[in-house]
Amino acid sequence: MPKTAKINEKIFKAYDIRGLYPEEINEEAAYNIAKAYATWLKPKKVALGRDVRISSKPLFEEAKRGLVEMGVDVVDVGLITSDMILFATAHYNFDGGIVVTASHNPAGYNGMKVVREGARPISIDSGLAEIRDIAKKGEFQVPEVKGQVENLNILDDYFQKILSFIDTRAIRPMKVVVNPNFGAAGKIIDKIAGKLNLELIKLNYEPDGTFPKGQPDPSLTENQAETGELVRKSGAAFAAMWDADADRCLFLDEKGEFIRGCYATAILAEAVLDKYPGGKVVTDATLIWPVIDRVNAMGGVPLINKVGHTFITERMINEKAVFGGETSGHYFFKDYWFCDNGMIPFLLLLEKLSESGRQLSEFADSLRKKYPNSYKLIRKTEGIPEKLKEIETKYQDAKIEHIDGVSVEYPDWRFNARASNTEPLLKVFLEAKSEKLVKEKLGEVVGLIES
């Protein structure tokens, strides 16, 4: 067991637990966090899974031990994607769920995502802070009767659930590039391809917790370039990329061009509103104009929200929204317990292209042309609140919102500046009515921040 403090407070983020292994999160921490989770939630039966990282198995085993010692029955669902823990918890009516994962972070990181009954998220504002404090104290009332452990293969049931979102008869044969970034998505993609007669062009496909090509993040330019090249060479209809725990899905069109998350959210919102006319759609505050445009055109109701899967899910539930999307590639569905899922967007896109007979670039290019945008990630470990106040002073004649960080809007351009919830970054997202204005104003805003 690593000789470190029981709990490093910094691993508790806005909506999950994440840190370097073993310096910040280790077996002792996983054991105590699991016991704290059991103390706070008081569950009887909990689903427990893990991602492909090398450190996930030992952390998983200690989390299991902690739960069992607290009298909790553990359902071991094995190596899964993060959205599968949501499925397991809600579909089988368990009292909670935990998946050991650090999502898209590099191989040296690990963490935990925790939910309660119904796959309801637990964020820092809705229980994670209390779990942290209980774990730090390390004082647990251990019952005499320990919990039991059972194994459950959920893949087939999960597969049937995600297929229910589309008309499988409508899908035409299609060639698609798929890049799971060495994560856990491959076994699900294979089942989808077998059912829907897809020809898969596979990239970074076999699970490998060392992530030999670097950070398993589909939003990274190098990952997109590699995938795009394969699309062009193979003549595929489009490409889908997932992060390591496969709860984020990003797309490239048939030209190998990346489709930013705000455009993909707009395209998917059309697909969902076709099925749920007049429904509410939640999106984050970073890049909003394409989504508002498409949702309004479809007769839906756009809602702007704070970034973060727990915050989006909570808003989805409160508003009874039918769909939600983030620029990062998280997509949320009313019929998936208002939670995010990385496979349903892939299926919806297959259905939309099959039924329309159009190419993906036709949907994306109209949005790109009308609402060009860009972003800048600025590494900044301190002084972020002061910079956000400086931004407000500079642009005080604009419409200012504080849904998430600071959003500044003029008739022909707007931007959002916010601190990352998981990294020491200030993120700036800017959209305008022309490419020239995007370039000019992004330089202006970034210059102000870096001055």
Chain centroid, CA 22 distance in Å: 24
Over 90: is that where the pLDDT of 229 sits? yes
User: CB within 8 A of 431, min separation 6: which ones?
Assistant: 262, 287, 288, 289, 371, 372, 373, 413, 414, 415, 438
Under the banding of pLDDT at 50, 70 and 90, the label for residue 421 is confident
Taking Cα atoms as reference points, which of 121, 181, 192, 118 lies closest to residue 345?
192
Question: Sorting pLDDT into bands at 50, 70 and 90, what band is 1?
Answer: very low
In whole angstroms, give the CA distance from residue 401 to residue 418: 12
The DSSP result for 223-236, as a single string, is: HHHHHHHHHHHHT-
| Position 252 pLDDT exceeds 50 | yes
In this structure, the strands spanning 198-202 and 249-252 are unpaired
- Judge whether residue 135 has pLDDT over 50: yes
How far is the CA of 230 from the CAs of 178, 234, 276, in angstroms? 10, 6, 35
Q: Tell me which residue has tokens 């900044």.
A: 380
Q: What is the per-residue pLDDT across 307-348, written as a single tens digit (0 to 9) for each?
A: 988 889 999 999 999 999 999 999 999 999 999 999 999 999
What's the average model confidence in pLDDT over 86-103? 98
Can you give the pLDDT at residue 14? 87
Kindly write down the DSSP assignment for every residue of 390-432, as one continuous string.
HHHHHTTTSEEE-SSSEEEE-SSEEEEEEE-SSSSEEEEEEEE
The whole-chain average pLDDT of the chain stands at 96
Which strands sit side by side in the sheet containing 198-202, from one edge to the other? 198-202, 174-179, 238-242, 249-252, 258-259
Task: Collapse the DSSP code of 121 into the 3-class scheme (helix H, G, I; strand E, B; otherwise coil) and give the result.
Answer: strand
Mind listing the pLDDT tens digit for each residue in 343-356? Answer: 999 999 999 999 99
Query: Where are the alpha helices (H) located in 219-323, listed in sequence order?
Result: 221-234, 261-275, 289-297, 309-319
Q: Tell me the per-residue pLDDT of 183-200, one tens digit each, with 9 for 90 and over.
A: 999 999 999 999 999 999
Reply yes or no: is the peptide bond before residue 22 cis, omega within 30 of 0.
Answer: yes
Torsion angle of the four alpha carbons 440, 445, 448, 451, in this order, in degrees rounded to the nearest 10: -80
- Alpha carbons 359 and 103: distance in angstroms, whole number: 31
Please give the average per-residue pLDDT across 420-441, as a whole number: 92
User: What is the CB-side half-sphere exposure of residue 310 using CA atoms within 13 A?
Assistant: 19
Yes or no: say if 184 and 52 are a contact pair by the CB < 8 Å rule. Answer: yes
Could you report the per-residue pLDDT of 371-411, keeping only the tens digit for each?
A: 999 999 998 768 889 989 999 999 999 999 999 999 999 99
Domains and CATH numbers, the chain: 9-153 (3.40.120.10), 156-259 (3.40.120.10), 372-450 (3.30.310.50)
Residue 2 has pLDDT above 80, yes or no: no
Q: Which of 18, 88, 89 is nearest to 53 (CA)?
A: 18
pLDDT at 65: 98
- Mean of pLDDT values over 116-141: 95
Which residues are identified as catalytic?
Answer: 103
